[in-house]
Structure 1
Amino acid sequence: MTLRADWLPTLAAFESAARHQNFAHAAEELHLTASAVSHHVRKLEARLGVALFQRHARGVALTAEGRTLADAASNALSDLDGVLGSLRSTDAQHDRVRITTLHSLAYTWLMPRLPAFTALHPQIRLAFDTEVALTRFDDGGPDLGIRHGPGHWSGLTAHLLMDDALFPVGSPSLPGLADVADVADVASLPLVSDHARQGWHDWFRAAGLHGARLNERHSFSDSTDALNAAATGLGAALARKRIVGPYLDDGRLVRLPGPVLATRWNYYIVYPAHRRLRPAAQMFVDWLLSLPID
């Protein structure tokens, strides 16, 4: 079957409807009416002689044939976007990827790994936003984000990047550290905390120590500030496995006795569900997901 030019708007409408599983959302993305999207889909079904969607009271769902065509259409349109983008030599934003993430993760986990990405893709420029507030992914906003959370956010596609865990650390210079032999000894130390949802009380409960009066001496909004405070000897900190690595590697902090507590939240790559990633942003996502997570 020869693909004629008049198939392109029909396939574009179908691909958007398949991605959203919703004609109205596809219409909003394509600046059409829902009835126009529905017309394109029915026209495509008539040409192919197969049903692409199952229609029911609560919306639509892809048939097996629809899923096959949706995958092919999505890949083809993404490839076409990439080719068209590569021809826009005057578009200064083409190879720029904007990422929103936590300062703690960018500083200790992501930064040491970025040279490997830039060696693979020297043409791509990265821009990071590490503000505390969650960034809106509207037009003009970031391409994607790395969030620490439950894994589901309204309007966003989320891919699990890695899990996390908590355990206590302290500086070798912390007074009394040499005498710390068990969990009760950790509880007797001055403690540094951050604003994470899981903290010292959760860890001591998991360690089996109940009713201890904790001396939470200092508190910081950012996890890296808490680790830096612990590294100066201000107290023991409850470290995140994914961001404490550099501190342990250079000896600024050492592990203290006690269990490793798995966190209720993990790290996810997120981006708007209503639009495809630009090729440069997709390359960055693919690279992140290919990283070995130990």
Structure 2
Amino acid sequence: MQTLKSQHLGALYTFSEVGRHSTLTSAAKAMHLTTGAVSQQLLQLEQQLGFTLLERHSRGIRLTEKGKQLHQNVSFHLAEIDAEIASLQRNTGKKQEIRLKLTPSFAFKWLVPKLESFHDVDPDIQVQIFAEGALVNADTRDFDLAIDYRPHTFKHPNAELLLDEYLLPVMNPRYLERHQWLQNDAGKAEHWLGVTLLHDAMPWEKAEKDLEWRNWAKAMQLSVPTDRGHFFNRTDMAMSAAEAGVGIAMARMALIDNELETGRLVSPFSPIKANAGYYLISNVQDESTESFVKWLKGMIG
């Protein structure tokens, strides 16, 4: 270890956090430090390394090519260290804890309402839920378990299909009343030009923003333009907009049980296969994760 010095370690952690943000201010806030302190650490690190990590401009910061390469490696190895420490702590008899990563939509609409029943089954296991981004990065090791929505071509060595998904256009009852043709004449393409489509524009990484509506229209043999309406980066936001009467959302059946049961959302259609589903990705296998996975599969039935 001739190149890496002890004074680099703290600054490398700071750099790994800064690389997740678009500005130094937001990064400093996340780390509970001043912007000046973060900036000074990065400047010193760049001087010690002998190359530039960040390009600073009026709108924020951007990683240089060398910065991107270093950030990818530092972030990966810090996550590996964190995972190893967590594993060692579990083996020393400390309180059992599961780090669960998933999308906010699945957390809010499916998992959280059911989580109390897991506490009844195994009250000694704490579940730490991380639902920060619209997408889950399954390639890191900073979690024990993850649940991610993916197309059925998804391949991952530690993944298994947990729940198959179906798509259903939904709206609030008043919206359906104003568009009676949806109940008996939905096959006419010209009718669809008069409604607002609500999209989850990021069902998974690199998906086209109107993918779900386009797949539904194809299955229904409808020739309608789907690249229009309002686009959200989370499916629960699209469903909330539909509930507010903004338009018709392409909803996922796993996430709308309560809305359909209470009549807050309605649909004159039948669900179709989404050709996608929720995949369980396991980085850690121990008694705690096995207990949680058993409960999870039991809830799905």
> Normalized against structure 1, the TM-score is what?
0.61
Equivalent residue for 2:255, pick from 236, 243, 249: 243
Structure 2: how far apart are the matches of 1:186 and 1:267?
30
Asked if 1:189 is matched to 2:195, the reply is: yes
Instruction: Work out whether residues 144 and 271 of structure 1, in 8 Å CA contact, stay in contact via their aligned partners in 2.
Output: yes
Does 2:282 match 1:282?
A: no
The answer (yes or no) to whether the contact 1:109–1:243 under 8 Å persists in 2 is yes
- Go from structure 1 to structure 2 and tell me whether the alpha carbon gap of 1:263 and 1:133 turns closer, same or farther (over 3 Å shift): closer
d(CA) in 2 for partners of 1:113, 1:86:
28
State the distance in 2 between where 1:290 and 1:254 align. 28
User: Structure 1 stretches of 5 or more lacking a match?
Assistant: 1-81
Q: 1:91-150 CA deviation, whole Å, 9 max, x = no partner?
A: 2xx3111101111111111122111111111111111111234336655x2111011113
Question: How much does 1:152 deviate?
Answer: 4.3
The letter for the 2-side match of 1:287 is W
* In structure 2, C-alpha distance between the alignment counterparts of 1:214 and 1:151, rounded to whole Å: 23
Structure 1 residues 95, 186: CA separation in 2 closer, same or farther (over 3 Å shift)? farther
1:112 aligns with 2:113: yes
Equivalent residue for 1:23?
none
| Structure 1 segment 32-71 matched on structure 2, within 5 A | none
1:122 aligned residue: 123
CA distance in 1, matches of 2:193, 2:268: 11
Structure 1 residue corresponding to 2:214, chosen from 179, 201, 206 = 201
**Given the two structures, how large is their TM-score scaled by the length of structure 2?**
0.60
1:170–1:236 contact (8 Å) kept in structure 2: yes
- Do 1:137 and 1:143's aligned partners in 2 also have CA atoms closer than 8 Å? no
Match of 1:265 in 2: 276
Tell me the secondary structure at the aligned position of residue 216 of structure 1: coil
Q: How far 1:291 sits from its partner (Å)?
A: 2.3
Structure 2 gaps, min length 5: 1-86
Paired residues of 2:103 and 2:135 also in contact (CA < 8 A):
no
More displaced stretch, 168-177 vs 123-132: 168-177
The residue aligned with 2:66 is: none
RMSD over aligned Cα, in angstroms?
2.6
* CA spacing shift, 1:291–1:148, aligned 2, 3 Å: same
Describe the superposition over 1:20-67 as per-residue Cα deviations: whole angstroms up to 9, x where unpaired: xxxxxxxxxxxxxxxxxxxxxxxxxxxxxxxxxxxxxxxxxxxxxxxx
Contact 1:109–1:242 under 8 Å retained in 2: yes
Q: Which has the higher helix share?
A: 2
Q: Kindly tell me the number of residue pairs found equivalent between the two proteins.
A: 200
Query: How far apart, CA to CA, are the structure 2 residues paired with 1:215 and 1:269?
Result: 31
**Greater CA radius of gyration, 1 or 2?**
1
Tell me, in whole angstroms, the C-alpha distance in 2 between the residues paired with 1:173 and 1:235: 11
Preserved contact between residue 167 and residue 274 of structure 2 (Cα < 8 Å): yes
How far residue 180 of structure 1 moved from its aligned partner, in angstroms, is: 2.5
Give the % identical residues: 25
Q: 1:287 offset after TM fit, Å?
A: 1.1
Report the secondary structure of 2:285's partner residue: coil
**In 1: Cα distance, 2:159 partner to 2:214 partner:** 30
